[in-house]
């Protein structure tokens, strides 16, 4: 699907894999927007397992959840197990991504390039989920906010953010979760790299790396539980 601009609502129940009954079907959504602005995209996949947005086996633009343009608002709600969201976002100004995944063994993998004033708000309820966010891999971003709320066990989170100003706000309730947060970038003395984490649970592992030039770095951890393993590395 190619779009230039406008509002698109995609209901997962309308995209049914062939050879399955609608109640338990694998549901798929593929979107390829090239250089379009002012997109409002809402995707609800709220029944069944094995649903997908984009192709988790592909790389680059062939993932077909590829969004390019300014002023993008994306809302995704997935309910079930073994669901995936895989794609790439390219923008120059104002990007908002609101994700909710409920279930187990789900995967969220997004690559974001360039732009300023980006925001990802994600809510995960379940266990054994993988969350991979790679922001600014090729072109550095400015002022990225990533808010994460996790309820569940044995989840893996891998965030790499290259931006001139980053705020990661993380709330966790669960055990045996693994977090790797890597913040880097070049900014001015008024820019910031900040991690705020509130964690309740046992046997969680947290690895935070802040590698910045001129940015102020700040980490605020509020932990409750036993056998936590915390590693913090800060450098200019």
Residue 133 lies in a domain: no
Last residue of a domain, one of 63, 95, 113: 113
Considering only 12-21, 74-83, 185-194, 197-206, which range has the smallest mean pLDDT? 12-21
Residue 170 lies in a domain: yes
Residue 179 lies in a domain: yes
| Tokens 């192709």, residue located | 55
Residue 135 lies in a domain: no
Instruction: Return the sign of the alpha-carbon dihedral for residues 149, 155, 89, 79.
Output: negative
Considering the chain, what is the average pLDDT of its residues?
A: 81
Give residue 185's pLDDT band: very low, low, confident or very high (50, 70, 90): confident
Residue 126 lies in a domain: no
Cα-to-chain-centroid distance, residue 60: 17
What confidence score (pLDDT) does residue 163 get?
A: 81
Q: Are residues 20 and 103 in the same domain?
A: yes
Q: Are residues 190 and 105 in the same domain?
A: no
What confidence score (pLDDT) does residue 3 get?
A: 42
Q: Are residues 147 and 106 in the same domain?
A: no
Residue 38 lies in a domain: yes
Rounded to whole angstroms, the Cα distance separating 181 from 199 reads 15
Q: Are residues 106 and 214 in the same domain?
A: no
Q: Are residues 214 and 108 in the same domain?
A: no
Give residue 191's pLDDT band: very low, low, confident or very high (50, 70, 90): low
Q: Are residues 99 and 148 in the same domain?
A: no
Last residue of a domain, one of 76, 96, 113: 113
Residue 216 structural domain = 141-236
Rounded to whole angstroms, the Cα distance separating 142 from 190 reads 12
Q: Are residues 12 and 106 in the same domain?
A: yes
Residue 131 lies in a domain: no
- Number of structural domains, the chain? 2
Q: Using one digit for the tens of pLDDT, what is the confidence trace for 57-109?
A: 765 555 678 888 888 899 999 999 999 999 888 876 788 999 999 999 999 99
Rounded to whole angstroms, the Cα distance separating 74 from 40 reads 6
Residue 130 lies in a domain: no
Structure token digits, residue 172: 């966790």
Last residue of a domain, one of 73, 94, 113: 113
Q: Are residues 168 and 234 in the same domain?
A: yes
- Angstrom CA distances, 59 to 19, 41, 52, 56, stand at 26, 22, 15, 8
Span between the terminal Cα atoms of the chain, in Å: 44
- The DSSP secondary structure of 3-36, one letter per residue, reads -SEEEEEEEGGGSB-TTS-GGG--BEE-EEE-S-
């Amino acid at each position: 699907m190619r779009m230039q601009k406008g509002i698109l609502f995609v209901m997962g129940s309308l995209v049914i894999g062939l050879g399955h009954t609608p109640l338990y079907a694998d549901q798929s959504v593929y979107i390829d927007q090239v250089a379009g602005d002012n997109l409002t995209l809402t995707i609800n996949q709220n029944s069944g397992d094995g649903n997908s947005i984009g192709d988790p086996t592909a790389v680059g633009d062939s993932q077909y959840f590829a969004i390019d343009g300014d002023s993008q608002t994306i809302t995704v709600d997935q309910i079930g197990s073994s669901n995936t969201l895989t794609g790439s976002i390219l923008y120059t100004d104002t990007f908002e991504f609101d994700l909710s995944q409920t279930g187990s063994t789900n995967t969220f993998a997004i690559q974001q390039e360039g732009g300023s004033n980006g925001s990802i708000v994600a809510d995960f309820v379940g266990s054994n989920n993988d969350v991979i966010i790679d922001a600014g891999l090729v072109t550095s971003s400015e002022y990225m906010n990533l808010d994460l709320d996790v309820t569940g066990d044995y989840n893996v989170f891998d965030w790499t953010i290259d931006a001139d100003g980053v705020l990661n706000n993380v709330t966790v309730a669960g055990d045996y979760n693994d977090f790797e947060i890597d913040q880097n970038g070049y900014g001015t003395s008024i820019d910031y790299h900040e991690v705020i984490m509130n964690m309740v649970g046992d046997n969680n592992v947290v690895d935070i790396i802040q590698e910045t030039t001129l940015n102020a770095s700040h980490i605020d951890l509020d932990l409750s539980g036993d056998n936590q393993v915390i590693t913090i590395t800060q450098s200019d």
